Structure 1
Amino acid sequence: MGRRHTPRGVWSRAHGDEQPPSAPPEGWAPAVRATAHCLTGCAIGEVLGMAIGTALAWHAAPTMVLAIVLAFFFGYSMTLFAVFRVGLPLKAALGVALAADTLSITTMEIVDNGVLLLLPGAMDAHLADGLFWWSLALAFAVAFLVTAPINRRLIARGKGHAVVHRYHRH
C-alpha cells in the first residue's frame, strides 16, 4: 500500500500527530549526525566525570563510574530536550530518549572506557597532563568509529535515532 502525501493540517486533524510518519532516513549522514549527537552528550558527561574524579584524586573505578553515569545523563538529556521542545509529554519524551540512545550510549561507553583502560597511564593522568586529554580524544574517536555503523543499522531498521525523527526533524 503506497503512502499518499497529506498536508500537515489534514494529517494533524485526522491522526492527532504533528506530522505524518516518515520512512527512516537512509545512508551514512543520519548515522553520523546521530553518533555526533550521542558523542556530544557522552563527552560532556565523560569529561565532567573524569575531571571531577581527577580533581578529587579518586581512584580509577569511582571516577569511571561517575563519568559513565554522567555520560548517560547528558546523552539522554540532549535527546530528551529535543523531543520535549516539540511538545511531547515528559513520559513519552523519556521513552523516545531511551529508545533512541540506549544502544548508542552503551556502545560508546564500553568502547571509550575500554580504550582508556588499555592506554597505559590514561586513568592516572591529571587534568594538566597532555595524556589525560589526548587519551580522552582518542577514546572518543574510536568510540565514534565503532558506534556510527551501529547507529546506521538501527536507523535503517527504524530504530535508534530514527525514533527521534518521528517527532523532530534534525
Structure 2
Amino acid sequence: MTSAHEHTDHGMSAHAGHDMSGHHDMSGSALNSMAASATLHCLVGCAIGEIAGLIIGTAAGWSNLPTTVLSIALAFVFGFALSSLPLLKAGLGLGAALSVVVAADTLSIATMEIVDNLVMLVIPGAMNAGVVNAIFWISMAIALTVAFFAAYPVNRYLLRRGKGHALTHEYHSASKDAQGARRFIPDPPAPVLAAVIAAFMLGGLLVSAADDLGIGSGHPNATAVAPSRS
C-alpha cells in the first residue's frame, strides 16, 4: 500500500516537473528576474562561506592556499545549506534536499568561486590583507560583484532549460504551506540575506578604517599585528 507520505512526495515531484517545463515558456522579464534572484541566493551563501573561511584562516595565521581552500569549501557548504532550507521546510528529507540543491547550485557556485578568487588574485594586496584591513573588504565587495555578473548568465541559461534553480523553485512555493515543526525552519528571502551580508561587510570596512586611523586602539598601526595570509 502506498503511504500518504509517498503520495505527497510523488505529487510534489510531479508538480515540480510541471513547473520546470513551464520555465521554457516564461517571458524574458520573468526569466531575468528569476535568474537574478537565483544568482543572489547563491552569492549570499558564497559570501558567508568565503568571509568565514578568510576570517578563520587569517586568525590561524594560515597561508593563502589553505585559507583559499577552506573559503571555497565553506562557500559550497553555506550555499547548499541556504538552498536546502526551503526544501526541508516544504517536507523533503535531508538527503533528498541535498541531492536537489547539489544538482541545482553546483555550477552556479563553482562559477562564482572561480571568478571571485581570480579577482582577489588580480587585485594587488587583496590576498595578503588581513580582515582588519580596508583593502580586504573593498576587494571582497568587488570580487563578489564581478562573480554575480559572471554567474547570472549561467543561472539564466540553466533556468531556460528547466535546470539549476528551476529544480528548487516549486519547493520554495510549497514551503509557504509548511506544517508542524517545519514551520520554524528559517527561510529568509535572498534580498534580506544580501542586505545583512552587505551591512556586515560595511561594518568590517568601517572597523578597518578606524583601525588604520588608530581610533579605539592602543597603537596606531594595529593592522601590522594581524596575521598575514602570505
TM-score, length-scaled by structure 1: 0.87
Residue from 117, 125, 128 that aligns with 1:113: 117
Say if 2:37 is the partner of 1:33.
Answer: yes
Q: Distance in 2 between matches of 1:123 and 1:102?
A: 24
- Counterpart of 2:131 in structure 1: which amino acid? L
Give deviations 1:79-112, integer Å, cap 9, x for gaps.
1112111001222111111111000000000000
Q: Tell me how large the CA RMSD over aligned residues is.
A: 2.0
Shift of 1:46: 0.3
Distance 1:143 1:15, change over 3 A: closer
Distance 1:15 1:36, change over 3 A: closer
Q: What's 2:63 paired with?
A: 59
Q: Distance in 2 between matches of 1:14 and 1:146?
A: 37
Distance 1:67 1:17, change over 3 A: same
Residue from 68, 72, 95 that aligns with 2:72: 68
Q: What's 1:17 paired with?
A: 11
Q: What's 2:91 paired with?
A: 87
Q: What's 1:139 paired with?
A: 143
Q: Distance in 2 between matches of 1:91 and 1:119?
A: 39
Q: Runs in 1 of length 4+ with deviation above 6 angstroms?
A: none
Unaligned runs of 5+ in 1: 1-12
Number of paired residues? 159
Structure with larger Rg: 2
Unaligned runs of 5+ in 2: 1-6, 174-188, 190-230
Would you tell me which structure has more helix in proportion to its own residues?
Answer: 2
Identity, in percent, stands at 49
Q: Distance in 2 between matches of 1:16 and 1:56?
A: 48
